[in-house]
Structure 1
Amino acid sequence: MYIDTHVHLNADQYDEDIQEVIDRALEAKVSKMVVIGFDRKTIERAMKLAEDYSFIYAVIGWHPVDAIDCTEEDLQWIEELAAHEKVVGIGEMGLDYYWDKSPKDVQQAVFRKQIRLAQKVNLPIIIHNRDATEDVLRILQEEEAYLTGGIMHCFGGSVETARQCIDMNFMISLGGPVTFKNAVKPKEVATEIPLEYLLIETDAPYLAPHPHRGKRNEPALVTLVAEEIARLKGISIEQVARETTNNANNFFRLND
């Protein structure tokens, strides 16, 4: 069995065939999926999916690209929804310096507020980091994010950075890029970081793994991520599936 720990089944790209996508995931032995909501529309959709399917869970938060649109009312709403039994984390939150829709200071302020919110509701945090590693790590340290712990989603940093994150009580999640032929850092991380700290994800509909790169991604393809990690580590895919599933169940407290 596999768990896709980060998927956007609430995206418009699945409007026409969501049930078929879910069915293919189940056929591929993806037993649980964690759907990420990161603004009003996607949070509402994530909550509905979590309520409609026993094996789907929700993570809710505000994406750094859209931080400029985040209001105190939005954060209050997220805090209220966090009490729902199917909400298992807060995010994706963080910093994105690639896109310039939201100024850096606004992103950082909304990031800090969400870390504090997560601490208040006692849920782990899911981190989005693009071109902002130094500031992400600094803010996580300053806000004592180790208290909740979290996941470095679709991790693309170095082995050294991965170890810094693990020291702060964070898991490392690998997605489709680990299968890309030119993806040096994700492959190094998959090789060097012990399996007990790894999770797998698709980030679907984005970042489809090789040989589907450039096409719409879906949770069934998380098996290709596991396959590549197994190849890099020289272990069986069964072991990767078993251990990453155990990691996800324990991290999100899905066995409680």
Structure 2
Amino acid sequence: MFIDSHCHLDRLDLGRHDGSLANLIQAAGDAGVEEMLCVAIDLNQFEEMYRRVKPFGNVYASAGIHPCHVGECPFDKERLREAASRERIVALGETGLDYYYSKELAEQQRESFAGHLQLGSEFGLPVIVHTRDAREDTLDVIREHADPNVAGVLHCFTESREMALAALELNFYISFSGIITFRNAEELRDVVRAVPLDKMLIETDSPYLAPVPYRGKQNEPTYVPEVARCIADVKGLRIEEVAEATRENFYQLFTKARSR
């Protein structure tokens, strides 16, 4: 029923699942989470991540360099092109701009971001975008380099309503995480109200940002229904409607993905 559109399975502590990624994925399935997208943050760690998730038919993967990692893993077009050609790669990223943690790398981040968008156009793959404290620059790079026929998603969205609406006009989706369940996130829930259901995705960004009532614990794909539940409450919908819509949106955006 549910799809976790953004998680980092290779960064999870599997202790409570007897050290088994298979057990974690089964636990998610038992909670109604049918599929998930494991997102890369560093090409230096890509091979190990891809090796771990490839055996699971309900797990897709991406290839990319997080903006906070461009220092130790600079953008390499040929290396990224090779990674993007793999069988279960359905997206590029995550890429983008982060001026909160790594503003000193701003120019490298912009070059890497533009390169991901250009390769997205070449491969017909959507781009997963991280943005923090860089609203205008993020939109400017998208306007200049994104292919509107391929598009992408602003993941774990925490920015303004105005930025969300601007991204929608550029054919980007907005993905919400467990942050929308936090007590102090009313402004972000206003963004949920403003974004049409047919342009939304849901995610955990696990192992980070566990939703209420699991806040403070390690996040896992198992908890993505709590994000859908919050969206349903905010929009006055049934959780089943949110699950169905976000599932369809996932396939509309990540066209290489397939249902089991």
TM-score range, shorter-chain basis? Answer: over 0.9
Q: Give the Cα–Cα distance (whole angstroms) in 2 for the partners of residues 204 and 56 of structure 1.
A: 14
Contact 1:10–1:42 (CA under 8 A) maintained in structure 2: no
Which runs of 5 or more structure 2 residues have no equivalent in the other structure? none
Determine the structure 2 residue equivalent to 1:119: 121
Determine the structure 2 residue equivalent to 1:149: 151
Q: How does 1:1-80 map to 2 (within 5 A)?
A: 1-11=1-11, 13-14=13-14, 16-71=19-74, 74-80=76-82
Which runs of 5 or more structure 1 residues have no equivalent in the other structure? none
Q: Give the Cα–Cα distance (whole angstroms) in 1 for the partners of residues 204 and 123 of structure 2.
A: 27
Determine the structure 2 residue equivalent to 1:167: 169
Shift of 1:62: 0.3
Q: Give the Cα–Cα distance (whole angstroms) in 1 for the partners of residues 29 and 23 of structure 2.
A: 10
Determine the structure 2 residue equivalent to 1:220: 222
Contact 2:91–2:125 (CA under 8 A) maintained in structure 1: yes
Q: Secondary structure at the match of 1:196?
A: helix
Q: Give the Cα–Cα distance (whole angstroms) in 2 for the partners of residues 2 and 71 of structure 1.
A: 34
Contact 2:118–2:146 (CA under 8 A) maintained in structure 1: no
Determine the structure 1 residue equivalent to 2:193: 191
Q: Secondary structure at the match of 1:99?
A: helix
Contact 1:66–1:101 (CA under 8 A) maintained in structure 2: no
Q: Secondary structure at the match of 1:112?
A: helix
In structure 2, the CA distance between the partners of 1:61 and 1:102, relative to structure 1 (3 Å rule), is farther
Q: Which amino acid aligns with 1:125?
A: V
Q: How many residues align?
A: 255
Contact 1:124–1:150 (CA under 8 A) maintained in structure 2: yes
Q: Which amino acid aligns with 2:72?
A: D
Determine the structure 1 residue equivalent to 2:100: 98
Q: Give the Cα–Cα distance (whole angstroms) in 2 for the partners of residues 55 and 208 of structure 1.
A: 22
Shift of 1:101: 7.5
Q: Which stretch of structure 1 is more off in the superposition, 219-228 or 19-28?
A: 19-28
Q: Which amino acid aligns with 2:158?
A: G
State the TM-score, normalizing by the size of structure 1. Answer: 0.94
Q: Secondary structure at the match of 1:59?
A: strand
Percent identity among equivalent residues?
Answer: 38
Contact 1:68–1:102 (CA under 8 A) maintained in structure 2: no
State the TM-score, normalizing by the size of structure 2. Answer: 0.92
